[in-house]
Amino acid sequence: MNTTALRRFREKLANDEPVYGLWITLESATITEMAVALGLDWVTIDAEHGHLDWHDVLEHVRAAVRSDTVVLVRVAQLDVGLIKRALDIGADGIVVPWIETADQLRDAVAFSRYPPDGLRGVGGERATCWGQCLPEHVEESQDVLVVPIIESVTGGRHIEQLLDVDGVDVLYFGPADYSSTAGHAGQWEGPGVAGQILAAKDAIRARGRHCGVVATDNDNLAERREQGFRMLALGLDGALLIRSIRSALDRVGRDRPIRSGFTRDRDGSDAAPMSRPPESMRPDRPEVVTARGDGRMIEIDTGVHLEMLVGGFNQARDLTTGIVTIDGDAGLQYHLHDFTESITLLSGEVTVEVEGRIYQPGPLDNLTIPPGTAHQTSNRSRTEPAVIHISMATANPTRTLVDRFFSRRTMGEDAVPPPGTERITRFRTAERYDAGPNTSCIDFFNDDLLPGLEMSGGYGVFGPQGRLPAHVHDFDESICIIRGSATCVVEGRRHALRDFATALQPRGRVHYFMNEGQDPMEMLWVYAGPKPQRLVVDERCATVEGDPWR
């Protein structure tokens, strides 16, 4: 046991100074050597989660010998055998998970003490210098640190009873598991959890004890210190390594998230929410919600009317979306753009020709037209209007009329366009994927599906209580509600959308959509970026109090 390091650890806490440490999950003892060399006050070797075996634990303990760094071992559960073994190896203390009651905490203390004060068995192992320093170690063992982790709502409710237990200097918090027991599995600090942990922290400090937590990043480390947490982990070794690598990759434009199974999610979202968006994404415009009828009206051609809902007129960048109504027997002449255009049929019957290739899309079928490709759209009905949703990869669209003959041929339901030309997505047979609880999406167009595109987009359907996680994009986004009612939350501001109302989410705004009704909600989303990538962040960032840009 390192009594000198333990004494310094406790002296700092007694003076209300923070003690900084590192959570060890990787097997290389070099990591602990680095922590010691950098003067960290403590390390915790995690033998609860992950792949460390007892040999790995031993090597980490050895790496801190004769240093000023306290070495703790987090055991897999409250178990006298596991605690005894960790201490016999030479750990200066134990971290015990999932403590909820005073009786559990008393057992943890008893399992770490020799009789008559406890139940720890005597072993002639490393801690006793293989039996050569037994009396000395028995006396020193009264200084062993016992650190319970409070990682459930039940544990938080019993905080006062836990504080009645002697032999405990510090109590630690596990926000992720705490959130899980509060009904927010997968979140670091779900709604309401941050407040519960802070209230428990106040109770601990009021009783003259100390508490700790793992910081999620450098800003959070400073925030936790100001909140009064004193046993502060800089992070987990693996997470810190990934953070450093991603920071370097970001500098050269190569950053990418890691997904479960070590594969990249089709929308690029992160496997675990970030505590806040990168500062480089700080937005410079507010969100805008435009109801149908309040957009910018343009008569494109006789009997063809475009209502812009997102575009340069409301400060969108590199993106225009809107609703086009084509009167009976009306249509657009052949034309082309120097940007991508996407067309999705909402109602009615239309014919779309692309350089002579004739398509008759069904409801919610999508046609995406690359730059420089001549095309036209007409209403097949003489009397009933047709309605389509359009999106263009520019904030200020223009068109060039084309006076050229094309050989015409009908493209059947299973026809495939020539390589490098338009793309058609048949809604009825398109592949769907999960995007959130009770939520699925279809990708209509992006750079992977049609290389060279400047934008990406698709369709989403939200069942009752379906929703997306809080997230941000590195580009502007348009979301048009084509069926049902949606609630859009942007940094604590709530917007209700229905009947083709469209939200412009500027780059960097933290937001999410959900369906709070009992009927399905459907949307068409378009990104002003070539790939459907999102950065998932802590739900608190989508609240007024957690707004990262305040």
Same fold, 3-255 and 297-422: no
Look at residue 270 in the predicted model and tell me its pLDDT: 41
**pLDDT range class, residue 263, cuts 50, 70, 90:** very low
Residue 91, Ramachandran bin (φ over 0: left; ψ between -120 and 50: alpha; else beta): beta
Domain spans of the chain? 3-255, 297-422
| Both tokens assigned to 37 | 């060399």
Look at residue 435 in the predicted model and tell me its pLDDT: 87
Look at residue 442 in the predicted model and tell me its pLDDT: 95
pLDDT tens by residue, 8-57: 999 999 999 999 999 999 999 999 999 999 999 999 999 999 899 999 99
Residue whose C-alpha is closest to residue 264's, from 251, 276, 254, 252 = 254
Across the chain, which distance is largest between two alpha carbons, in Å? 101
The catalytic position among 49, 137, 210, 375 is 49
Residue whose C-alpha is closest to residue 482's, from 366, 383, 368 = 366
- Strands 456-462, 357-359: pairing kind: unpaired
Q: Mean per-residue pLDDT for 265-271? A: 46
**pLDDT range class, residue 259, cuts 50, 70, 90:** low
Residue 362 in contact with residue 428, Cβ under 8 Å? yes
Look at residue 40 in the predicted model and tell me its pLDDT: 98
**Average of per-residue pLDDT values in the chain:** 93
Lowest mean pLDDT among 114-118, 209-213, 247-251, 311-315: 247-251
Look at residue 456 in the predicted model and tell me its pLDDT: 96
**pLDDT range class, residue 271, cuts 50, 70, 90:** very low
Domain 297-422 coded CATH 3.40.50.300: no
User: What 3-state DSSP class applies to 345?
Assistant: strand
Neighbours of 218 (CB within 10 A): 11
What CATH topology corresponds to 3-255? TIM Barrel (3.20.20)
- Checking if the pLDDT of 305 tops 90, the result is yes
Q: Mean per-residue pLDDT for 496-506? A: 97
pLDDT tens by residue, 127-150: 999 989 998 889 888 899 999 999
pLDDT tens by residue, 387-432: 999 999 999 999 999 999 999 999 998 888 998 899 999 999 999 9
- Checking if the pLDDT of 1 tops 50, the result is yes
Q: Mean per-residue pLDDT for 54-81? A: 96
**pLDDT range class, residue 184, cuts 50, 70, 90:** confident
- Angle at CA 263, nearest 5°, toward 260 and 267? 90
Q: Is 49 a catalytic residue?
A: yes
Q: What is the Cα–Cα distance from 345 to 329, expressed in whole angstroms?
A: 16
Query: b vs e for 257-266, b when ≥16 Cβ sit within 10 Å of the residue's Cβ?
Result: beeeeeeebb
Residue 173 in contact with residue 16, Cβ under 8 Å? no
**pLDDT range class, residue 253, cuts 50, 70, 90:** low
Look at residue 408 in the predicted model and tell me its pLDDT: 94
Q: What is the Cα–Cα distance from 18 to 449, expressed in whole angstroms?
A: 52
β-partners of residue 43 are 22, 71
The verdict on whether omega for the bond into residue 469 sits within 30 degrees of 0, i.e. cis, is: no
